[in-house]
Amino acid sequence: MGPLDDTMLVKTSEMRGVEIDEAHRIARVEAGALWIDVTAPASEAGLAPLAGSSPDVGVVGYTLGGGLSWLGRKYGLACNRLVLESDERAEELLAPLRALGPEMDTFAAIPPVGLSRIHMDPEHPVPAMSDSALLDGLTAETIDALVDAAGPDSGSPPLLVELRHLGGALGRYAGGALARFDGEYLYFACGIPMDPAVAAALEAHFAIVGAVLAEQASGRQYLNFAERPTDAAAFYGEETYARLRRLKAEVDPLELFRGNHDIPAAG
C-alpha cells in the first residue's frame, strides 16, 4: 500500500446488516457484510448471489475488485446481478455429461449457499503467500508442463495450484473500469510460509510455475488475487488506468483515500 503516514483506518466489521428484496432480486448490504451474510438468506429465498469461493470475504471489497464467482462464465462479474436457476435447467445441462457414463457422478442439486464452501477456503485469518496471473489460453504442452511442475509427486510446496476457466460473460464488456477479464484462464497458487525456508521454497516454486505459464500470460492481473506489489495499470489496461488517474485528480486531488493497489492522481 505504500507509506501510510497520517492515514486513518476505518473498520466496518460490525456493519454486517443485509436485506434481501426477493421480489426484485436485490441484496442491500452494509459496508462490513461478508458473503456468507448474503448467501445464506439469499439461498433460502432461492437466489444465488455471484459470490466468490470464500464465504468470509467482504462483499464490498470483492465487488469493487470485479468479483469472480462460480457462475461467472454465464452471468459475468459479481457487480452485475443476482441470479435464479431452476432444477429442470440444471438437469438439462448435465444430461450430456451423464450420458458419457462417468465413473463417479458427483453432480447434485445444492442450495446456492452451498457454493460458498465448495472451495473449502479457510474462514479465519491464515498466513499465506500467493501468486496469480491472467492467461490468454492454454496449450496441451503447457498443461503437461504445469502438472510436471506442480502435480502429484512433483514435490511442489504450495498448498494449491489452480486454473479457473474464464471466458463467456466474464470476457464481454459490460461497462465500468473492471467490467471484463482480459484472458481465458486465471492462474492462482498459494502456500503457508511456516518458516523462512518454506517462504523461500514457495517463492522459488512460484517462479518455476510462472516460467511454465509465461508464453500464455497476458500481462494483466486480477485485482482481488494480486497480493504482492503490482503496477495498478495491469488490472485495468493503460487507457482505463489513465482515465482512473484523471478521475482521482478530480474527486480526490489531495489523495485522502488509499487502496492496497493505489491509483495516483494524474499530475
232 residue type, one letter: A
The predicted pLDDT at position 138 comes to 94
Lowest mean pLDDT among 10-19, 55-64, 153-162, 171-180: 171-180
pLDDT in tens, 43-74: 999 998 888 888 888 998 888 787 888 888 88
How far is Cα 201 from Cα 25, in angstroms, rounded to an integer?
A: 47
Helix (H) or strand (E) holding 134: strand 129-135
Lowest mean pLDDT among 104-113, 191-200, 243-252: 104-113
In this prediction, residues 119-147 reach a mean pLDDT of: 92
In this prediction, residues 20-24 reach a mean pLDDT of: 89
How far is Cα 6 from Cα 3, in angstroms, rounded to an integer?
A: 9
Which domains does the chain carry?
1-121 (3.30.465), 126-230 (3.40.462.20)
Residue 131 has pLDDT above 90, yes or no: yes
pLDDT band (50, 70, 90) for residue 83 = very low
The predicted pLDDT at position 176 comes to 74
Residue 98, C-alpha cell as written in the block: 451423464
In this prediction, residues 129-139 reach a mean pLDDT of: 94
Contacts of residue 30, defined as CB under 8 A and 6 or more positions apart, other chains included, come to 12, 15, 16, 17, 18
Q: CA separation (Å) from 131 to 4, 51, 193, 249?
A: 24, 21, 13, 31
Residue 222 has pLDDT above 80, yes or no: yes
> What pTM did the predictor assign?
0.72
Residue 1 has pLDDT above 70, yes or no: no
